[in-house]
């Protein structure tokens, strides 16, 4: 599937989620349903590491649907390559039952990549999209699970692989 189709599909799902969720809001003050928190992520491979922190805010439309935005800060090191990334994302959360949370998140990161050679360091800076789908076990405030990057690119991604565990917390 092409990048444009994935982005379009993600935005359509996000808008449908918002439309369905707002119909059951019954005029409740928007800010009473905003929750703050975020997630942390860790990824490990044979010769690499990735760590991320993403503070975010979501609007809890009802007991099943939430959507919001997040900032992202990432660091990764694979062999001699080092990555520093920052950016943002939009996300939507769906709980079919209270203990299960499904998520979709489109993330856009600015990557600052340094590749060490024997004589000098090579720097490469670029934008990188990621489209995550995930699922996790949820309590009221904490969700622990796995997410998968549908746009994963082994040569350019800051993540060690497409599958990444996460811990998401909202208050």
Q: How far apart are CA 161 and CA 171, in angstroms?
A: 30
Assess whether pLDDT exceeds 70 at residue 122: yes
Q: How far apart are CA 83 and CA 16, in angstroms?
A: 35
**What topology does CATH give the domain 3-170?**
Porin (2.40.160)
Could you give the percent of the chain with pLDDT greater than 90?
53
Output the furthest CA–CA distance in the chain (Å, rounded): 64
Entry pTM? 0.76
Assess whether pLDDT exceeds 70 at residue 143: yes
Angstrom CA distances, 119 to 4, 77, 81, 161, stand at: 40, 19, 15, 29
Q: How far apart are CA 62 and CA 5, in angstroms?
A: 29
Residues in the chain: 171
Q: How far apart are CA 98 and CA 63, in angstroms?
A: 8
Helix boundaries (H) for the chain: 3-23
């Amino acid at each position: 599937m092409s990048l444009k189709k994935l982005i379009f599909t993600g935005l359509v799902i996000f808008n449908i989620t918002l439309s369905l969720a707002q119909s059951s809001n019954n005029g409740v003050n928007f800010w009473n349903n905003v929750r703050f928190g975020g997630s942390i992520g860790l990824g490990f491979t044979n010769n690499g590491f990735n760590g991320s922190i993403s503070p975010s805010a979501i609007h809890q439309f009802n007991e099943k649907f939430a959507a919001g935005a997040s900032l992202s800060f990432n660091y990764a090191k694979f062999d001699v390559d080092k990555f520093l990334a920052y950016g943002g994302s939009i996300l939507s959360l769906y709980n079919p039952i209270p203990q299960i949370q499904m998520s979709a998140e489109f993330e856009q990161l600015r990557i600052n990549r340094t590749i060490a050679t024997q004589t000098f360091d090579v720097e490469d800076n670029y934008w990188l999209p990621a489209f995550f789908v995930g699922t996790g076990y949820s309590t009221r405030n904490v969700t622990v699970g796995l997410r998968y990057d549908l746009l994963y690119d082994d040569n350019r991604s800051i993540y060690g692989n497409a599958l990444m565990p996460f811990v998401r917390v909202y208050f």
